[in-house]
Amino acid sequence: MPKEITAEEIPAILPRTLAAYVKRSGEVVKFKLRTKKTLFTIKTTPDEASTIEKIITSSSNSLEVEELD
């Protein structure tokens, strides 16, 4: 079962993240962070999405955010 988190929790999850995805639909941007055991989701506005994407791509395990349709 996915777990919804806030943007403040992202840095704690990034070291164990295996993959990152983003789905854009209208006024909602949804990020999905996949770890070995859990799928974490974050719902944001398009304005906040660029900031979150920069945090994810600049992480120590060099993740790339993959776009979903």
Domain 3-60 - what CATH class?
alpha beta
Per residue in 30-53, pLDDT (tens digit) is: 999 999 999 999 999 999 999 999
Q: What is the pLDDT of residues 9-36, one digit of tens each?
A: 999 999 999 999 999 998 999 999 999 9
Any residues with CB less than 8 A from the CB of 22 and at least 6 apart, and which? 29, 30, 31, 32, 49, 53, 65, 66, 67, 68
Domain regions of the chain by residue span: 3-60
